[in-house]
Amino acid sequence: MPRTLYQPLGNEEIRLLTIHSQSNFSLETVCVKETPGYHAVSYCWGEAHDLCHVRVNGYEVPLRRHVAVMLDSLYRHHRVTRVWLDMLCINQDDEAEKSKQVSMMGEIFRRAMGAYAWLGEADSDTDCIFDVLREFRKRKMELELPAGLDAAEQLSCHRELFRDIYVERGGSLPEARASDDERLHEEFNWLRPLYIRPFWSRVWIVQELILAKDVIVCCGAKCIDLHDIYGLSLDWGSFEQGFYDVQPDYTALIEIAKSFPPLVPKQEDPVMELDLPDQTMTTGQHPEVSTVDSEYI
């Protein structure tokens, strides 16, 4: 990063990023306790050597392409203009600042208007899943079940509704795959393209998503409230909890995500250096994390 891009921060100060266009941004320094509206962003860093160049406060800055795509999507599809994200809002060349800012992350996410959880670019599977989940949420709220049904019978009606919507949106029901978990109802296995995204393997999502006031999960141009998919992160036997609890316990979602096998081998050395001319830009891995691949931080 250009050395003059960052000025030292005070004890309660953070930087916020304003998105002006696909490749033009500005940073401002604010007091975290007096900060006007912003959204925090929870995301994977992406490939260290897949870079593009953007402008921040007039300086040309190398940025991982995965993050550039994320910011462009938040700006164009979700109308997000003011965010906090560690990659650009923390001076990654300053170890003391990184340590201090990491210790403030709980406060940063708590004081944000909400958080956006970025799963990455969409594909046909994830687009279908987001459409199904949103439509299912809508129709389930409108569904009038016959009186006298017990919990098992109600669940059966909801599963049938979910299947009908999946056929409408996807053309047919998904075929069984070797990766399916036989312990779960098959409907939940249909959502695996959503839950096996690398995002869910990040250790930091527990703090980021639980502390945020509201969490919107985004994949490409599609988005959905985390609360709306929470019930489907559980076995369908406890399906109702996810849609009607005022304060859901998202740790169940995290535990299920943790049970999935690793998507890529972990590197022996979690710290990666960018191959840049000044040799000063690192991944900005959170200082106290030493056992997780920095690609997922």
Residue 270 sits in the same domain as residue 176 = no
Shared domain check, 255 and 131: yes
Residue 115 shares a structural domain with residue 190: no
- pTM (predicted TM-score): 0.74
Structural domain includes residue 203: no
* 41 and 57 within one domain: yes
Q: Domain range holding 84?
A: 3-120+264-296
Q: Name the average pLDDT for the chain.
A: 78
Answer yes or no: do 63 and 89 share one domain: yes
Q: Is residue 111 part of a domain?
A: yes
For the chain, strand residue ranges (E) read 13-19, 24-31, 39-42, 51-56, 59-64, 82-84, 114-118, 215-219, 222-225
Number of domains in the chain: 2
Task: Check whether residue 81 and residue 171 sit in a common domain.
Answer: no
CA–CA distance from 155 to each of 51, 133, 145, 185, 192 (Å)? 47, 16, 11, 12, 21
Q: Kindly state whether residues 51 and 132 are assigned to the same domain.
A: no
**pLDDT tens-digit series, residues 2-51:** 557 999 999 999 999 999 999 999 999 999 998 779 999 999 988 888 99
| 170-180 per-position pLDDT tens digit | 898 888 888 77
**Domain co-membership, 52 together with 115:** yes
For residue 234, tell me if it sits in a domain. Answer: yes
Residue 208 in domain: no
Least confident residue range of 12-26, 148-162, 232-246? 232-246
